[in-house]
């Protein structure tokens, strides 16, 4: 396994412009199109970290805060928050910009999980993540809970094995 890598090393920023073919009847960017751009940016970030081909294993917590208008410029920023054994979690943030009015607005966020594959198409062990900033450390810590939740929901982990989730709920009960 290679050395620890920082989230900054995997950071991927993609810029697109909303064209008529990308929009719905309200002239807003279609949800499917934005999910596609998010998948590409986060796959590049995960592939950069893993130094391997990656496949999307799951998509979680996608929230659409604001519609993105025809003609606006969209920036998709993706970073790896944490690597597990062969899988990696990425966080994606989407913002948009209206060029004539110079206004910027937040659009949506999500977590995508990828699995790195070796040349035989088998899951491959990836390097650990070393968070640097306070925000990176927060995302790193939360990644274990999110992993447990997605694996429990996917039927790949027994609830009794989800220790981080259990301690989260135990702490909430004390409040």
Ligand X SMILES: CC(C)(COP(=O)(O)OP(=O)(O)OC[C@H]1O[C@@H](n2cnc3c(N)ncnc32)[C@H](O)[C@@H]1OP(=O)(O)O)[C@@H](O)C(=O)NCCC(=O)NCCS
Q: Which residues bind ligand X (CB under 6 A)?
A: 55-58, 84-87, 113, 115, 123, 150-151, 154, 156
Whose Cβ is closer to ligand X: residue 118's or residue 135's? 118
Q: How far is the CB of 86 from ligand X (least distance, A)?
A: 4
**Within 10 Å of residue 92's Cβ, how many Cβ atoms?**
25
**Within 10 Å of residue 91's Cβ, how many Cβ atoms?**
24
Whose Cβ is closer to ligand X: residue 63's or residue 120's? 120
Q: How far is the CB of 120 from ligand X (least distance, A)?
A: 12
Whose Cβ is closer to ligand X: residue 13's or residue 154's? 154
Segment 103-109 long-range contacts (CB within 8 Å, at least 24 positions apart): 105/66, 106/65, 106/66, 107/34, 107/64, 107/65, 107/66, 107/67, 107/68, 107/74, 108/34, 108/62, 108/63, 108/64, 108/65, 108/66, 109/61, 109/62, 109/63
Q: How far is the CB of 125 from ligand X (least distance, A)?
A: 8
Q: How far is the CB of 141 from ligand X (least distance, A)?
A: 17
Whose Cβ is closer to ligand X: residue 41's or residue 115's? 115
């Amino acid at each position: 396994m290679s050395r620890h890598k920082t989230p900054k090393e995997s950071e991927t920023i993609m810029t697109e412009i909303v064209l008529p073919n990308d929009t719905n009847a309200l002239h807003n960017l279609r949800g499917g199109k934005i999910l596609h751009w998010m998948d590409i940016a986060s796959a590049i970030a995960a592939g950069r970290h893993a130094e391997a081909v990656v496949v999307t294993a799951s998509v979680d917590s996608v929230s659409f805060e604001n519609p993105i208008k025809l003609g606006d410029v969209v920036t998709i920023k993706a970073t790896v928050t944490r690597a597990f054994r062969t899988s990696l979690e990425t966080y994606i943030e989407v913002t948009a910009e209206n060029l004539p009015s110079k206004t910027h607005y937040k659009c949506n966020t999500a977590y995508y999980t990828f699995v790195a594959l070796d040349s035989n198409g088998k899951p491959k062990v990836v390097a650990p993540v070393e968070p640097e900033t306070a925000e990176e450390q927060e995302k790193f810590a939360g990644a274990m809970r999110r992993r447990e939740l997605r694996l429990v929901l996917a039927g790949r982990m027994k609830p009794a094995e989800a220790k981080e989730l259990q301690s989260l709920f135990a702490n909430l009960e004390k409040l």
